[in-house]
Amino acid sequence: MRAVDDATRITSIEIIGNTQKDLYGLQAYNGRSILFTSENEIASHLLRQNVWWSAVTVQKKYPNRLAVFVIMTIPTAYLFQDKRYFLLSESGRVLQKEASKSYSLPTIKYYETISSLLQGVGEIIDLKDITKSLMLIRGVRNIGLSPDSVDINSRDMVALQIGSKQIEFSIEKAGEIQLYQLERIVRQFKIEGKTYKRIDLRFDRPIVEF
């Protein structure tokens, strides 16, 4: 039994995936018995420890190895609060705090101070308007537009600045509908060779200002 116990203690952990950040929590499993170690438990623990991981799967490789498959989080935008930049994932998770921006990403300017929700890296900002803004940023990028900044001016308005153009969204109106309307407008203007200054998608019929 002693020989089996020694032979099944974890001696190697292989990380598979694009891991460009420091890894945390792995050392806790070195030397543990692979027989009494839960793959799901390890995955949950590592996901909590590594804020840059969006998904992780663990597989046991008998007799004594673990394979950890990692998908990295792609940062979406910064939130500017208290003279600092909070780098956010698409889910609203705080990835890091910075005195100045190190990524070329849009900055969200929020109409209220929410420093009490920004206590530490790894926290998730669960505010409807910020979550909606992050989803809209991704949607606008999929259309082929690159927002420079995002202004959340009130509880029902998000304004994306794209160069000299502004696109206004509603927090309450379905984001998918607004993005569909925007895509149709942008595609049509591209065909006609038109440009615009402002598109307001908050109402049933979009408003376009030239």
CATH of the domain at 26: 3.10.20.310
Phi and psi (nearest 5°) for 103?
-120, 150
One domain for residues 200 and 152: yes
184: domain range?
A: 75-209
One domain for residues 132 and 178: yes
One domain for residues 55 and 145: no
Give pLDDT, residue 4.
Answer: 60
Place of tokens 């895509």: 183
End of a domain among 72, 94, 123?
72
One domain for residues 153 and 183: yes
Give pLDDT, residue 122.
Answer: 87
Phi and psi (nearest 5°) for 39?
-60, -45
One domain for residues 40 and 101: no
* Residue 41 CA from chain centroid, whole number: 23
CATH number reported for the structural domain that contains residue 105 in this entry: 3.40.50.11690
Q: Going residue by residue through the chain (210 aa), what tens digit of pLDDT does each one get? A: 566 667 889 999 999 987 777 788 988 999 999 998 899 999 999 998 999 999 999 999 999 999 999 999 999 999 999 889 999 999 999 999 999 999 999 999 998 888 776 767 888 888 999 999 999 999 999 999 999 999 998 888 999 999 999 999 999 999 999 999 999 999 999 999 999 999 999 999 999 999
Tell me the H-state helices in 78-152.
Answer: 128-143
Place of tokens 């792995």: 26
One domain for residues 115 and 191: yes
Q: Is 178 helix (H, G, I), strand (E, B) or coil?
A: helix
One domain for residues 61 and 86: no
Enclosing H/E stretch for 70: strand 65-72
End of a domain among 45, 72, 99?
72
* Tokens of residue 47, six digits: 């996901």
Give pLDDT, residue 112.
Answer: 82
One domain for residues 136 and 198: yes
Asked if 58 and 68 count as a contact pair (C-beta separation under 8 A), the reply is yes
Give pLDDT, residue 5.
Answer: 66
Q: For residues 110-136, b (16+ Cβ closer than 10 Å) or e, as one string?
A: beeeeeebbeeeeeebebebbbbbbbb
Give pLDDT, residue 113.
Answer: 80
Give pLDDT, residue 139.
Answer: 97
**How long, in residues, is the chain?**
210
Residue type, 11: T
Q: What strand order describes the sheet that includes 12-16?
A: 12-16, 65-72, 53-61
* Number of domains, the chain: 2
One domain for residues 35 and 81: no
One domain for residues 84 and 175: yes
End of a domain among 27, 56, 72?
72
Q: Is 98 helix (H, G, I), strand (E, B) or coil?
A: strand
One domain for residues 14 and 62: yes
pTM of the entire structure? Answer: 0.85
Whether omega before 63 lies within 30 degrees of 0, making that bond cis, reads yes
One domain for residues 114 and 164: yes
Enclosing H/E stretch for 80: strand 75-81
Instruction: Name the pairing type of β-strands 65-72 and 12-16.
Output: parallel
